[in-house]
Amino acid sequence: MLRTFIAIDLPTAVQEVLERLEKEFQQAQAPVAWIKPERIHLTLKFLGDVAPERVSEIREGLKRVAEAASPFHLKPSGCGAFPSIKQMRVIWVGLQGDIAALNGLQHAVEESMAQLGFKKENRPFKPHLTLGRVKGRQHLRSLQESLLGRLDFDSEAFDVTELVLYKSELRPEGARYTPLFRKTFGQESPAGNS
C-alpha cells in the first residue's frame, strides 16, 4: 500500500522565508517537531493508504482537474496554531490571495476523488502551511509569545500552476515525500501522454 496525498508545491523562495520564520520560533526551545522547509506544501486531499494499482486512476482524475484549472496566486500571510494559540498542537502559516480559486481547486479534487470511492472530508477546508507539531508542554509560553509577535507575518506571492500526487513514507528522521505524478494546469495532454 502507498500512503498518498494531493498537494500544491511551494517555490524555493517561499520555503526559504518559512525556514527563517521556523528558526525564529525554534529559539523558544519548545518541544515541536518542525517540518523541514523543503517538505512544506499545501495539502488539498489526504488519500491515505492506496493500492499501487489504483495510482493510474487517481492520475487520470487529477489530470482532468488540472486541465480544467487556471493558474492563480497565493501569498503566505499570518500565522497561528490549531486548535488555538492557547492550546497549540499544530503551528501554521496562513494564506491570502486567490482563495476562491484555491477553494474551487480543492473542491474539484475532492469531487474527483469521491468519484473514485475516496471518502469526502467532512471538515471545512482550512488552507494553511504546517510548520510544526507540538510534542510537549515545556517552553510553550515563550513559543506563544513568539507566535503572537508574528501574527502580521507576510511573504511574497507565488503562482500556483500544478497539482502533485505524493507518496509519503514515514521514517524515524521524518516523513519522506516522493512525487508520483505532476500535472500543469490548463494543458491538455496529447493522446497517449500523461
Residues serving a catalytic function are 41, 128
DSSP state of 73: E
**φ/ψ (deg, to 5) at 87:** -115, 50
**φ/ψ (deg, to 5) at 62:** -70, -35
Rounded-to-integer distance, Cα 34 and Cα 165, Å: 22
Rounded-to-integer distance, Cα 45 and Cα 4, Å: 9
Torsion of CA 3, 173, 8, 191, to 10 degrees: -50
Residue 34 is placed in which grid cell? 518542525
HSE of 190, CA atoms in CB hemisphere, 13 A: 0
Amino acid at site 21: L
- Which H/E stretch holds residue 38? none
Residue 8 is placed in which grid cell? 500544491
